[in-house]
Every structure is written in C-alpha cells, then in structure tokens.
Amino acid sequence: MLTMKLSQSQLYRLSIAGRTASSLSLLGVATIFTTFTFSEHFRGPTHRIMLINGFYNLFDFIATMISVSGPEAGDDSALCRFQAFSLQMFPVADVLWTVAMTWDVVLVVFYHYEPERLRRLEKKYIVVITTLTFVPAFVFLFIRNAEKGPLYGSVQFWCSISPNWVLFRIIFYYAPIWLLILGVLILYIVIGHELFQLRHELMLTSNDCLALSSRTSPSNESVRRTNRDDMKDLEGPIIRQQSAVSLRKFLLMPILYFLALLATWVAPTINRVYAFRHPGKEPYPLMMAVATLGSLRGFWNGIIFISLRSKARR
C-alpha cells in the first residue's frame, strides 16, 4: 500500500505528470530507433551508443509509466517488484552509458581510435554495464527483514527502494550515480584542457574534422615525402578516404547528453536528501518535479540524437 500521505487528487496529478513525461520519453526512444534505422547520417559512434542505451531506457520509461499503479498493487506484488527492479537497474545503466560515451571521446581525441575500433568495444560495454546494474538490482529483490520489511517497496508515486531503507538507497544508488557524473565532468575538463594545449598539433582539417587514421600508414608516409604545396592538395582526399569525424560535433553530442543527464538527476537527488533529513515531509512541488524531470531523459536524448548529424562519408 502507499506509504505517503497524499490526497487522491495529488496522486492523480503526480501520475498524470509522470506518465506524460514517460510518454514523451518513449517517443524520444522511438525517434532514436527510427532515425538510426532509416538515415545513414545518424550512425556515428556516439549515435550507436545512444541507440544501445535506448533499449535500456525503454524498460526505464515503461516502469515510470506504471507510476502509482505499482504502489497501489502492494509491495509484494509482481508489478511493484518489476517497477522497483527496473528503476534500480536502468537509470544507473543510463549513467554508465554516459561514461562509455565519454570514454569513446577520450579514445578518439587522445588515441585516434577509428569508428571500427570503437564499435568493437560496444560488446564489452554491454557486458560490463549489464552486469554492474543487473546483479545488485536482482539481489535486492530478495532482501528483507522483520523490522524494515522488503527492500523494494512503495516510494511516494512509484516502487523503488523503500523509505525504510533510505540510507541503503543513498549508498547504493545516488552516491554511485553522482560519483560517475563527477567522473564524467572531470574527464571533460581534462579533454578540454588537452585539446586547448594541443590544438595546433592534432590532425585537424580545415572543415573541423579529426583524422582517425594511423600516422604510420603508407599513404601518410607518401604525404610526408611530398612538398608543402602538394601536401595541401593531397591532404583532403586522403583524410576523406581514411573514417574522419567532426571533432566539434563528436564532442558536442556527448556533452549535451551529459547536461541532460545532469538536469535529470538534480531534482530526484534533492528530494532524496530531503527525505533522509525530514522523513515523510517531502514538499509536493518537489515531488512533482521528480515525477516530471525524472521521466524526461528519453525525450531529451531523442532531441539530442536528431539535432546533430554525423559527417560520415563513403
């Protein structure tokens, strides 16, 4: 049953807000799937990671779409436990995919990884991220004691880690998420600093592309043997032949993705810290912000996905 004291009208408005935001996010995920399938201009390395993450987001937003129906079904119901499991696993996976996206940027900027090498890493990302998120979410299904009850239970307007286990939720949910977000922020600071320091040494073309080819390839050796005028003529065709990417867009897309993620987690985190300090006294406007903003990740992801085309060439 519901553990919070809200009127039926308040619960109704919370469910409407959450389900509306979830519907927009499901539309965003569908946009990612459709655009990737039918347009070759949206198949860059970052687009691919957003596509994979879209499958994880799908379960996340189905869970938020359930809304108050989970708590109303009861803590021991299959619906509530499915909702709690999904809201434990898939939002954390979303953050980890942001880390993977940022790591791809590091590999391209510092190690000149080609798209094919990045693609081979995707299976490893899937295994690691799925394992790190599935195992704890699954184990939590079986944790309970006589004093606090089951670990998964009703939390305001959906099922998640029960308020009786609020410290557990902070340690195993919000703390890792914010550590990962902080790690991503630090990586972008390092990337930005390094790019500024090496801006004249990177293999950048006049159209803002970063060449991903090996510097020791035969074609590059032949370029070195030409005079400076011939090099200007040959540089463009050679870079086009060897998987170049727009550095600005390659960096901009993950950064926007990160900012959307950051905006998503501010309200839920403030709400959880407030609930920890003042149990059962969470302000209703803050609950509304959580119900809305916490379910909009897929919507922002869809906008970011279609707003930046990759400069892929044959």
Distance of CA 307 to the CA centre of its chain: 17
3-class DSSP state of 189: helix
**Of the candidates 62, 88, 80, the residue with the CA atom closest to the CA atom of residue 140:** 88
Q: What is the pLDDT of residue 85?
A: 97
Which residues partner with 314 through β-bridges?
A: none
Topology (CATH level 3) of domain 8-200+249-307: Rhopdopsin 7-helix transmembrane proteins (1.20.1070)
- The tokens for 161 are 């880690």
Q: What is the pLDDT of residue 137?
A: 96
Q: What is the pLDDT of residue 248?
A: 63
Residue 263 is given by DSSP the state: H
Domain boundaries, the chain: 8-200+249-307
- The tokens for 119 are 């693609």
Q: Say how far apart CA 184 and CA 255 lie, in whole Å.
A: 10
The reported pTM is: 0.81
Q: What is the pLDDT of residue 181?
A: 92
3-class DSSP state of 162: coil
Q: Which residues of the chain have pLDDT under 50?
A: 1-3, 205-206, 212-242, 244, 312-314
Q: Say how far apart CA 47 and CA 63 lie, in whole Å.
A: 24
pLDDT digits (tens, 9 = 90+) for 148-161: 999 999 987 899 99
Q: What is the pLDDT of residue 214?
A: 40
**Of the candidates 214, 215, 210, the residue with the CA atom closest to the CA atom of residue 245:** 210
Question: How many CB atoms are located within 10 Å of the residue 126 CB?
Answer: 16
